[in-house]
Amino acid sequence: MKPLLQKTCDIAVDFLESLPGREVGRPVDYSTLLATMGGNLPQNGEDPLHVIEHLAKTTASALVASPGPRYFGFVIGGSVPAALAVDWLTSTWDQNAVLFVSSPAAAAAEEISRRWVLNLLGLPVEMTAGFTTGATMANFTALAAARHAMLKQVNWDVEEHGLFNAPEIAVITSAESHVTIFASLQMLGLGRSRIIKIATDGQGRMRPDALRHALADLRGPLIVCAQAGNVNTGAFDPVDEIAPIVRDHGGWLHVDGAFGAWAAVSPRYCHLTRGMELADSITLDSHKWLNVPYDSGLVLVRNAEAHHQAMTLNAPYYVVSNDVARDNTDWVPESSRRARGFTVYAALRSLGRSGVTSMVERCCQFAQRMADRLSQHPRVQILNEVVLNQVLVRFQPPSGTSSDAFTADVIRRVQEDGTCWAGGTTWHEMRALRIAVSNWSTTEADIDSSADAILRCAFGQC
Ligand SMILES: *Cc1c(COP(=O)(O)O)cnc(C)c1O
């Protein structure tokens, strides 16, 4: 084992050390990649050392430097060193985090992480936590708990009887809810096209007056999905105004805060998350702004019974431990599963409250710096109020062509240039470059060189 793992460590260190300097994305020929990495299934096994070296060599130019400091696509986040190291140990220990009896350590890691996250974000201590693959399954789990609780109010046991002949649940989202909210509702039998979508304001925030209007004639079971952190603008729905409206209607309020909810840690930005502590359920991604390796989502639920009933497996051979110890499977859709608590524990322990706070604040300040530098050019327009870590940039062409076409062209050139990587989006009918700053290792110099590269790709000088 030792030579194999030491070689693996060398390869890993080489990769990490290459990150600050390497091109972020490179064009890849997919069929060549399939041929060089793959080929035919070997009849006889190969030496593990050879397998590792072959894989490292053939993937080298096809890896994206997304854990690196100048990757601004989607909202990705890197891996803080302690979390990366503990991720290796998680694989090495190979614990099945399903039950307390299958890994007391994995149960404790999730329980400690649950307490620390609630403390960090100022949320009610009694909230239950499920450690999911990502925010998609966190949304799914939260909405399954909501479905349980809302139908129980009208004496319908949805886990036993399903949705056939069940009383209807009114489901309300914002017009700009994340796509995974709709995917979760679709998987839960709540449908996509029957959802009521509430109008948003100029920054993509749900309008409380429009919500109040939509609820005026609604009676019966109700689920409302708000969000903390719009994936385009970074704006937050006014949860402090939305929560009392939902409560007056006896509804369930879910807040998708995959990346934005982490802003609650910062005295400078926590005003954005005001009211989040009133939510019935909250989604977070540790693999985004906490900079834990994939896969690491988190669902927090206030009603433990609903959370548990929606997720429990109820199989006779599952020896449920006891009332004191945690069975991780009780709070997530899966049975056998990776011990996700260890990496969250490691990130929180190594950063501490002050480390998470400064990581979040640094990213926000860098987003503002990026916006300031880009907007010095007269033909650059920043489309959003930069309230968090997201910047939407639109480029005006020298003449003739449309801004949409020109911006799309700039996005392509930025991605090919390789200095940094950012994606495209269409926001309120406008094509835009979308920049998300969410990596612990990004420096001011990375922001400046990336801004220069973007301007150079757009206008040919900087
Ligand atoms: C990223 C994101 C999701 C989906 O998260 P995954 O971890 O990719 O499943 C959901 N909601 C919001 C607001 C997000 O930013």
CA atoms within a 13 Å half-sphere pointing along the CA-CB vector of 61: 11
Residue 297 included in any domain: yes
137-195 per-position pLDDT tens digit: 999 999 999 999 999 999 999 999 999 999 999 999 999 999 999 999 999 999 999 99
191 vs 171: CA distance, rounded Å = 9
Position 319 confidence tier, pLDDT thresholds 50, 70, 90: low
Kindly state if the Cβ of 142 falls inside 6 Å of ligand 1. no
Q: Distance, CA 280 to ligand 1 centroid (Å)?
A: 19
110 vs 130: CA distance, rounded Å = 8
pLDDT on residue 398 = 87
Give the residue, out of 66, 230, 276, 285, with the most ligand 1 atoms within 8 A of its beta carbon, to mutate for a pocket test. Answer: 285
DSSP 54-82: HHHHHHGGG---TTSTTB-STT-----HH
371 vs 445: CA distance, rounded Å = 15
Range of the domain at 261: 84-348
360 vs 121: CA distance, rounded Å = 13
As to burial, measured by CB atoms within 10 angstroms (0-12 exposed, 13-18 middle, 19+ buried), residue 43 is exposed
Kindly state if the Cβ of 136 falls inside 6 Å of ligand 1. yes
Which residues lie closer than 8 Å to 461 by C-beta, 6 or more apart? 455
Residue nearest atom 15 of ligand 1, based on CA coordinates = 258
Kindly state if the Cβ of 227 falls inside 6 Å of ligand 1. yes
Residue nearest atom 14 of ligand 1, based on CA coordinates = 258
* Contact call for residues 311 and 335 (beta carbons, < 8 A): no
Position 320 confidence tier, pLDDT thresholds 50, 70, 90: low
Atom number, ligand 1, closest to the C-alpha of residue 228: 13
Residue nearest atom 2 of ligand 1, based on CA coordinates = 258
Residue 284 included in any domain: yes
Residue 401 included in any domain: no
As to burial, measured by CB atoms within 10 angstroms (0-12 exposed, 13-18 middle, 19+ buried), residue 327 is buried
Residue with tokens 């994340």: 178
Kindly state if the Cβ of 258 falls inside 6 Å of ligand 1. yes
Residue nearest atom 13 of ligand 1, based on CA coordinates = 258
- pLDDT above 90 coverage of the chain, percent: 95
Kindly state if the Cβ of 237 falls inside 6 Å of ligand 1. no
How many other β-carbons are positioned within 10 Å of the β-carbon of residue 324?
A: 6
Residue 96 included in any domain: yes
Q: Distance, CA 136 to ligand 1 centroid (Å)?
A: 6
203-219 per-position pLDDT tens digit: 999 999 999 999 999 99
pLDDT on residue 172 = 98
Q: Distance, CA 179 to ligand 1 centroid (Å)?
A: 8
As to burial, measured by CB atoms within 10 angstroms (0-12 exposed, 13-18 middle, 19+ buried), residue 443 is middle
Kindly state if the Cβ of 261 falls inside 6 Å of ligand 1. no
Residue 154 included in any domain: yes
What are the angstrom distances between the C-alpha of 373 and each of 163, 219, 444? Answer: 53, 51, 12
Kindly state if the Cβ of 231 falls inside 6 Å of ligand 1. yes
Q: Which token pair is 225?
A: 């999905």
pLDDT on residue 399 = 83
Kindly state if the Cβ of 75 falls inside 6 Å of ligand 1. yes
Kindly state if the Cβ of 225 falls inside 6 Å of ligand 1. no
Q: Is the dihedral of CA 82, 85, 87, 93 positive or negative?
A: negative
* Contact call for residues 342 and 133 (beta carbons, < 8 A): no
Residue 222's identity, in one-letter code, is L
3-state DSSP assignment of residue 353: helix
pLDDT on residue 26 = 83
Q: What is the arithmetic mean of pLDDT over 65-70?
A: 97
What are the angstrom distances between the C-alpha of 112 and each of 108, 260, 283? Answer: 6, 22, 18
pLDDT at 1 over 90: yes
90 vs 104: CA distance, rounded Å = 14
373-431 per-position pLDDT tens digit: 999 999 999 999 999 999 999 999 988 789 999 999 999 999 999 999 999 999 999 99
Position 313 confidence tier, pLDDT thresholds 50, 70, 90: confident
* Contact call for residues 352 and 200 (beta carbons, < 8 A): no
Q: Distance, CA 259 to ligand 1 centroid (Å)?
A: 8
Q: What is the arithmetic mean of pLDDT over 350-375?
A: 98
Position 318 confidence tier, pLDDT thresholds 50, 70, 90: low
185 vs 27: CA distance, rounded Å = 36
Residue 338's identity, in one-letter code, is R
Q: What is the arithmetic mean of pLDDT over 32-41?
A: 95
The total number of structural domains in the chain stands at 1
Kindly state if the Cβ of 174 falls inside 6 Å of ligand 1. no
CATH number at residue 219: 3.40.640.10
Out of 59-63, 223-227, 296-300, 313-317, least confident range: 313-317
Q: Distance, CA 425 to ligand 1 centroid (Å)?
A: 15
Give the residue, out of 136, 272, 286, with the most ligand 1 atoms within 8 A of its beta carbon, to mutate for a pocket test. Answer: 136
457 vs 451: CA distance, rounded Å = 10
pLDDT on residue 3 = 96
Give the residue, out of 74, 139, 177, 178, with the most ligand 1 atoms within 8 A of its beta carbon, to mutate for a pocket test. Answer: 178
Q: What is the arithmetic mean of pLDDT over 441-458?
A: 98
Question: Of 244, 209, 206, which is closest to residue 225 (Cα–Cα)?
Answer: 206
Kindly state if the Cβ of 181 falls inside 6 Å of ligand 1. no
pLDDT on residue 462 = 47
Kindly state if the Cβ of 285 falls inside 6 Å of ligand 1. yes
Question: Of 300, 277, 309, 314, which is closest to residue 151 (Cα–Cα)?
Answer: 309
Residue 353 included in any domain: no
pLDDT at 316 over 70: no
* Contact call for residues 262 and 360 (beta carbons, < 8 A): yes
Which residues lie closer than 8 Å to 270 by C-beta, 6 or more apart? 122, 263, 264
DSSP 171-187: EEEETT--HHHHHHHHH
